[in-house]
């Protein structure tokens, strides 16, 4: 009898879960591969159900959630390098408009560790991930455990499949920051066979080119440009013949490159290749970067100069007089120190940009920067006659410095915007950001036209053709920004301002793409936001239900996610249909609950889920748990039509790209509303 009850119970559980749409498409297993006496690979294997795909560790910003591995700190071992992953597949995603790497059927990840304790021990970790098929996306996590026995015999394998109804949405903190109790080892650049990631290579090339141009900009500053003839004079006196002069010039150029690349290497070594990326995407470091760039900008505008101690340059100059290879190297070091007041802010900005990319980006950035500075110095030192073609030093050098100051100030607000987006504080929404940029570039245009004079500027009797051309270009760019205040997409700078939805009104006050006001009285209800296609949307269940009861309309409960691929497909292909838009705008109240909302819950509102046993500590966790408990589903998108008491109006639905069927489903629920 007992056996019969168990069988019936299991049958009911499976039947209930099948009906409830609890998806569990990935199974995780762990194993161990020996490498040497004190090193081994922790092998994590993901078995993925057919038609589902798992995203890579390396997913571009604003894309779907990446796979993230974390391992507990321990005195018994240390992690070696990053978690490596297989080759996988890469394709262009039309929804996110980027190349995205993913895995199908299976995926193997390897993390190398070095043992400090060769006795029996356990390595614990976790994996956070998103898995999608053509209709659903499921963010989730699984615990990982590796049992290590005696060296050479440590082959205990453990299946770490997670429970079917377990779902925890990775918070932004765990996704991007270094946790005080865990070591982040994600964002792999290559697979276990050291096959390079193409998108990574592209971004490094872009960084190199930008840093190269930044080096040329530094070259055209008052601290650097006048030193070219001084350097040439030094080498012409030191060199006995042309061949020696060319040799010394090459050594001098290489020395400049070595010094700056060494700086990039030291930065990477101190913080770690991955830590730089994690730090740069952290809220507080974004704020620090913002303040740092503001200081650099104010320095370039003439308020003060950032200099290194004068005794440093004195000591270096004394070494440069020694001659030979050592003297040439110290001559290059003297250039770096003496010109620091101009190059320092540019170098700092380049390193900040490189830090945002992580890995060896600081080294690549400093190589591009130093190459741009070294080439002219080396070439003019090797061929002094070319000096006659150089423009004379003058007030135009300070103009270059001031222009760079304005650009640094504009860039600073990008980092402040990053921090605001992560916090979802809405202090620096799109309109405010654009207003600041319009002010900065407008002031720059006035400066170039000679209407504003700053410290260290020479008297301007006339405007050169080059300065006038640049002034006109900046003015045109400023005018281009203005329509952005009323909802223009501004595609040229699409990566800099906050996204369209992160604004007071994406298309201007009281205006939408589909015409007319947002509501009948051209006002957005208290607690609501403009969602996709300007549909009024509530992001809180209680607030939305209260409003629906007030206006006596049914509710469309939309379980979604900021990084949900299929949610974006539904919004772009189905919700954009005029008939669907008309229904969503006029006949229902939309409540969109984002299961990956990273904002933390107040301490008193946190709890342990009775269903999953996980701690609910973020808003996304709360809505995810609500979906599982209330509707026995864990995938997005997921749609529920409710009356004002929270009762179902018809069967729930999920991803359905057929517009007619979706309209029929909406009308069916609305027809049942009383």
Q: Mind listing the pLDDT tens digit for each residue in 533-549?
A: 888 899 999 999 999 99
Residue 364 has pLDDT above 70, yes or no: yes
Asked, for residue 320, whether it belongs to a domain, the answer is: yes
Q: Which of 353, 373, 393 is where one domain is finished?
A: 393
Asked, for residue 61, whether it belongs to a domain, the answer is: yes
* CB-CB contact of 575 with 535 (8 Å): yes
Whole-number pLDDT of residue 271? 57
* Total structural domains within the chain: 3
Whole-number pLDDT of residue 162? 38
- In terms of domains, do 179 and 271 share one? no
- In terms of domains, do 240 and 171 share one? no
Average pLDDT, integer, range 558-587: 87
Q: Which long-range contacts (CB under 8 A, 24 or more apart) does 505-513 make?
A: 505/431, 505/530, 506/430, 506/530, 506/534, 507/534, 511/486, 511/487
Q: Who has greater pLDDT, 514 or 432?
A: 432
Asked, for residue 2, whether it belongs to a domain, the answer is: no
Average pLDDT, integer, range 8-22: 43
Per the listing, tokens 């073609």 go with: 389
Average pLDDT, integer, range 465-479: 93
- In terms of domains, do 106 and 214 share one? no
Average pLDDT, integer, range 142-161: 60
Helix (H, G, I), strand (E, B) or coil at 359: coil
* CB-CB contact of 296 with 408 (8 Å): yes
Residue 346 has pLDDT above 50, yes or no: yes
Residue 31 belongs to what domain range? 23-184
Asked, for residue 517, whether it belongs to a domain, the answer is: no
DSSP-assigned letters across all residues of 514-577: TSS-SSTTS-PPTTEEE-GGG-EEESSHHHHHHHHHHHT--EEEEEE-TT-HHHHHHHHHTTTS
Q: Who has greater pLDDT, 452 or 275?
A: 452
Question: Residue 362 and residue 370: Cα distance in Å, rounded?
Answer: 12
- In terms of domains, do 165 and 271 share one? no
Whole-number pLDDT of residue 644? 92
Q: Which of 375, 393, 411 is where one domain is finished?
A: 393
Q: Who has greater pLDDT, 572 or 329?
A: 572
Helix (H, G, I), strand (E, B) or coil at 584: helix
* CB-CB contact of 30 with 143 (8 Å): no
Whole-number pLDDT of residue 649? 92
CA distances from 314 to 81, 231, 252, 320 (A): 41, 17, 19, 10
Considering all CA atoms of the chain, what is the largest pairwise distance in Å, rounded to the nearest integer?
Answer: 105
- In terms of domains, do 577 and 634 share one? yes
* CB-CB contact of 154 with 34 (8 Å): yes
DSSP-assigned letters across all residues of 384-445: GGGGGGSPPPSHHHHHHHHHHHHHHHHHHHHHHHHHHHHHT--SS-HHHHHHHHHHHHHHHH
Average pLDDT, integer, range 78-96: 81
CATH number at residue 552: 3.40.30.10
Residue 338 has pLDDT above 70, yes or no: no
Spatial neighbors of 461 by CB under 8 A, at least 6 apart, are: none
Q: Name the percent of the chain lying above pLDDT 90.
A: 16
Whole-number pLDDT of residue 337? 67
Residue 357 has pLDDT above 70, yes or no: no
Whole-number pLDDT of residue 547? 94
Asked, for residue 496, whether it belongs to a domain, the answer is: no
- In terms of domains, do 212 and 177 share one? no
Asked, for residue 602, whether it belongs to a domain, the answer is: yes
Q: Who has greater pLDDT, 434 or 354?
A: 434
- In terms of domains, do 646 and 591 share one? yes
Question: Residue 421 and residue 428: Cα distance in Å, rounded?
Answer: 8
CA nearest neighbour of 368 among 201, 256, 213? 213
- In terms of domains, do 122 and 178 share one? yes
Whole-number pLDDT of residue 268? 63
Structure confidence by residue, pLDDT tens digits, 219-243:
776 666 666 666 666 665 565 566 7
Report the length, in residues, of the chain: 674
Spatial neighbors of 576 by CB under 8 A, at least 6 apart, are: 533
Q: Which of 376, 393, 410 is where one domain is finished?
A: 393
Asked, for residue 121, whether it belongs to a domain, the answer is: yes
Using pLDDT thresholds of 50, 70 and 90, give the confidence band for residue 562.
confident
Whole-number pLDDT of residue 428? 86
Using pLDDT thresholds of 50, 70 and 90, give the confidence band for residue 598.
confident
Asked, for residue 122, whether it belongs to a domain, the answer is: yes
- In terms of domains, do 207 and 339 share one? yes
Average pLDDT, integer, range 487-495: 76
CA distances from 668 to 64, 645, 648, 660, 673 (A): 33, 18, 12, 12, 9
- In terms of domains, do 169 and 206 share one? no
Mean pLDDT is lowest, of 7-21, 280-294, 394-408, 572-586, for: 7-21
Q: Is 81 left (phi over 0), alpha (psi -120 to 50) or beta?
A: left
Structure confidence by residue, pLDDT tens digits, 268-281:
666 554 444 445 45
Using pLDDT thresholds of 50, 70 and 90, give the confidence band for residue 8.
very low
- In terms of domains, do 178 and 235 share one? no
Whole-number pLDDT of residue 198? 42
Q: Who has greater pLDDT, 307 or 615?
A: 615
Structure confidence by residue, pLDDT tens digits, 276-320:
444 545 677 778 778 877 887 888 787 777 655 666 556 555 555
Average pLDDT in the chain: 75
Residue 477 has pLDDT above 90, yes or no: yes
Mean pLDDT is lowest, of 389-393, 394-398, 480-484, for: 389-393
Average pLDDT, integer, range 254-276: 69
Whole-number pLDDT of residue 297? 82
Structure confidence by residue, pLDDT tens digits, 156-200:
444 444 333 333 333 333 333 323 323 333 333 333 333 334 444
- In terms of domains, do 542 and 606 share one? yes
């Amino acid at each position: 009898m007992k056996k019969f009850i168990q069988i019936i119970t299991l049958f009911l559980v499976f039947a209930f879960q099948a009906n409830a749409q609890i998806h569990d498409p990935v199974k995780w297993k762990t194993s161990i591969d020996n490498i040497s006496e004190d090193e081994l690979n922790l092998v994590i294997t993901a078995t993925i159900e057919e038609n589902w795909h798992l995203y890579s560790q390396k997913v571009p910003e604003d894309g779907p959630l990446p796979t993230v591995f974390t391992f507990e700190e321990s005195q018994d071992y240390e992690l070696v390098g990053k978690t490596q992953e297989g080759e996988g597949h890469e394709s262009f995603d039309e929804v996110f408009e980027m190349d995205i790497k993913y895995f199908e059927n299976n995926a193997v990840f390897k993390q190398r560790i070095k043992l400090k304790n060769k006795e029996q021990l356990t390595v614990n970790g976790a994996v956070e991930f998103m898995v999608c098929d053509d209709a659903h996306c499921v963010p989730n996590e699984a615990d990982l455990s590796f049992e290590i026995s005696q060296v050479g015999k440590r082959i205990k394998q453990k299946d770490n499949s997670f429970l079917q109804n377990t779902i925890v949405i990775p918070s932004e903190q765990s996704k991007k920051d270094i946790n005080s109790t865990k070591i982040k080892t994600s964002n792999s650049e290559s697979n276990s066979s050291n096959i390079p990631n193409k998108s990574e290579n592209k971004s490094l090339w872009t960084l190199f080119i930008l840093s190269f141009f930044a080096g040329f900009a530094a070259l055209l500053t008052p601290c650097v440009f006048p030193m070219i003839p001084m350097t040439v004079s030094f080498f012409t006196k030191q060199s006995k013949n042309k061949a020696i002069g060319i040799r010394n010039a090459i050594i001098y150029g290489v020395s400049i490159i070595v010094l700056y690349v060494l700086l990039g290497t030291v930065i990477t070594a101190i913080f770690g290749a991955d830590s730089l990326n994690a730090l740069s995407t952290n809220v507080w470091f974004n704020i620090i970067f913002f303040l740092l760039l503001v200081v650099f900008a104010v320095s370039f505008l003439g308020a003060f100069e950032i200099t290194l101690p004068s005794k440093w340059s004195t000591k270096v100059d004394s070494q440069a007089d020694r001659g030979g290879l050592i003297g040439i190297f110290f001559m290059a070091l003297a250039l770096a120190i003496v010109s620091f007041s101009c190059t320092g802010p540019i170098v700092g900005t380049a390193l900040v940009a490189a830090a945002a990319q992580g890995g060896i980006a600081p080294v690549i950035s400093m190589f591009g920067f130093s190459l741009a500075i070294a080439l002219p110095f080396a070439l003019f030192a090797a061929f002094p006659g070319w000096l006659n073609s150089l423009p004379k030093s003058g007030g135009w050098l300070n103009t270059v410095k001031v222009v760079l100051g304005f650009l640094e100030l504009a860039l600073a607000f990008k980092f402040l915007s990053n921090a605001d987006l992560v916090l979802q504080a809405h202090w620096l929404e799109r309109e405010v950001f654009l207003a600041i940029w319009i002010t900065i570039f407008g002031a720059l245009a006035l400066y170039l036209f000679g209407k504003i004079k700053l410290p260290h500027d020479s008297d301007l009797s006339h405007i050169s053709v080059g300065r006038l051309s640049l002034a006109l270009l900046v003015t045109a760019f400023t005018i281009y920004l203005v329509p952005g205040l009323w909802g223009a997409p501004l595609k040229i700078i699409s990566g800099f301002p906050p996204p369209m939805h992160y604004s007071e009104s994406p298309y201007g006050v009281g205006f939408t793409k589909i015409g007319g006001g947002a509501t009948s009285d051209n006002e957005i209800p208290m607690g609501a936001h403009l969602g996709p296609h300007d549909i009024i949307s509530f992001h809180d269940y209680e607030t939305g239900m209260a409003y629906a009861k007030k206006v006596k309309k049914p509710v469309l409960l939309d379980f979604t996610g900021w990084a949900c691929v299929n949610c974006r497909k539904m919004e772009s292909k189905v919700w954009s249909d005029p008939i669907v838009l008309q229904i969503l705008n006029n006949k229902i109240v939309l409540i969109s609950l984002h299961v990956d909302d990273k904002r933390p819950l107040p301490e008193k509102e946190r709890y342990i889920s009775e269903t999953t046993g996980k701690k609910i500590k973020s808003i996304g966790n709360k809505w995810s748990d609500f979906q599982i408990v209330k509707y026995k589903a864990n995938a997005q998108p997921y749609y529920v039509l409710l009356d004002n008491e929270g009762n179902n109006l018809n069967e729930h639905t999920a991803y359905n790209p057929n517009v007619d069927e979706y309209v029929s489903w909406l009308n069916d629920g609305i027809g049942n509303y009383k």
